[in-house]
Structure 1
Amino acid sequence: MSQAEKFDPTARIYAAQEAYLAIEQQPQDKAEKQLLEQARRYVQAHSHQNDLRDLAGPIRKLMGNAYQVGCGGSHIWIKRTPADAGPRSPERLAVVADRLTTAYRDWFEPRVPGGPRRSIRTEQGLPIAGVAITTSTPTR
């Protein structure tokens, strides 16, 4: 940080972010798998960031022209270029996000069960469609 930035009252200050890379699609071949693993190692080596989007340039350089790398508000996405992607081109290949605020998963990890969960205190829980309401006291 430069001296001017330290004393500039309008300087943007970001909360600390812990970067991680989640590979959301299965790699097409061994070369793509190695490239994504290199990107993962780079992100792990630079995981503590003030602005996660600062990693976009180095990742873009690492991935090369066969991939599109872009930024969102607080994440970086990686896609295959349309010529290389085939029918799955609009889908994101990988994402770099903040571990403190997101929970993206790799393509091979099991999905977390979704949907409403019953409260352990059934007398205080809201009704769930199709589930009978009971008044028994739960055991712990």
Structure 2
Amino acid sequence: MSQADKFDPTARTYAAQEAYLAIEQQPHDKAEKQLLEQARCYVRAHSHQNDLRDLAGAIRQLMGDAYQVGCGSSHIWVKRCPTDAGPRGPERLAVVADQLTTAYRDWFEPRVPGGPRRSIRTEQGLPVAGVPITTSTPTR
């Protein structure tokens, strides 16, 4: 490899990604649930990727024509086709994303509590409405 090749500004390298599939809506029936579980198993078997969008073709083939599969900048989305989507339109059914940088949840998992959180080191935390400001001495 020449020096020019090493410093080529158009060379594309991606950080390692750890793919996972999150099912964001409840499956319509047993067949859809089984199909999504097959997709989840496939993603688990191919979790270590340089660019997880490379999995899109296999996911598209596995899901079949009843589903739309597309890519974002660093994820893959699965939607039901508009005829099967129901009254609210085609919402995302599932997403394949990088576990190291995202935290999508399955439809049945509890939501993470929102709102401001207290800092572990209260001397560095921002004030939270309704919580008295106290001073503490850091321990080392």
Q: Distance in 2 between matches of 1:121 and 1:99?
A: 27
The AA in structure 2 aligned to 1:77 is W
The TM-score normalised by the length of structure 1 is: 0.85
Which position in structure 1 is the counterpart of 2:89?
A: 89
Q: Which deviates the most, 111-120 or 38-47?
A: 111-120
Which position in structure 2 is the counterpart of 1:80?
A: 80
Which position in structure 2 is the counterpart of 1:48?
A: 48
Which position in structure 1 is the counterpart of 2:119?
A: 119
The AA in structure 1 aligned to 2:80 is R
Deviation at 1:115, TM superposition (A): 1.2
Aligned length: 134
Deviation at 1:121, TM superposition (A): 4.1
2:95 counterpart of 1:105:
no
Q: Runs of 5+ in structure 2 lacking a partner? A: none
C-alpha offsets along residues 104-132 of structure 1, whole Å, 9 cap, x if unaligned?
A: 11111111112111234444432112323
Which position in structure 2 is the counterpart of 1:130?
A: 130
Quick check: 1:39–1:62 contact (8 Å CA) kept in 2? yes
Q: Which deviates the most, 33-42 or 117-126?
A: 117-126
2:20 counterpart of 1:20:
yes
Quick check: 1:18–1:100 contact (8 Å CA) kept in 2? yes
The TM-score normalised by the length of structure 2 is: 0.85
The percent identity for this pair of structures is 86
Q: Distance in 2 between matches of 1:83 and 1:114?
A: 34
The AA in structure 1 aligned to 2:63 is M
The AA in structure 1 aligned to 2:94 is A
Q: Distance in 2 between matches of 1:124 and 1:15?
A: 32
Q: Runs of 5+ in structure 1 lacking a partner? A: none
Q: Which deviates the most, 116-125 or 101-110?
A: 116-125
Which position in structure 2 is the counterpart of 1:32?
A: 32
CA RMSD, 1 decimal? 2.2
The 1:42/1:121 distance shift into structure 2, 3 A limit, reads closer
